[in-house]
Amino acid sequence: MDQSITLKIAGREYPLKASSPEMEQLMRLAAESINSKLAVYDSRFPGKDLVDKFAFVCLNEAVARLSTQRKYALKEEQEQQLLEQTKAYLTSIEKESSR
């Protein structure tokens, strides 16, 4: 059952639906993060338009997401290599013990 929530981002309220309490918490944390980053850009670039500041926030978030995806893919690759090495090692031990 969807939960109706209202998030305030950049001073504007947005009525939304959260599919679970966990999703609501994530949405609220995301809104806090956006507002926090907007505040940083407000102080660094006081004359810039809000749309420009949102673009900076979006770019920052996209770069962070892509960086995390790359790190995750690298960890998966390393895990697969370790698994293959472990299997090869166990196979060699089995061959040695059967001699």
Looking at residue 15, its pLDDT comes to 97
Looking at residue 98, its pLDDT comes to 80
Amino acid sitting at position 11:
G
Q: pLDDT tier at 11 (50, 70, 90 boundaries)?
A: very high
Q: What are phi and psi of 76, to 5 degrees?
A: -65, -40
Looking at residue 95, its pLDDT comes to 85
Q: pLDDT tier at 99 (50, 70, 90 boundaries)?
A: confident
pLDDT digits (tens, 9 = 90+) for 23-77: 999 999 999 999 999 999 999 999 999 999 999 999 999 999 999 999 999 999 9
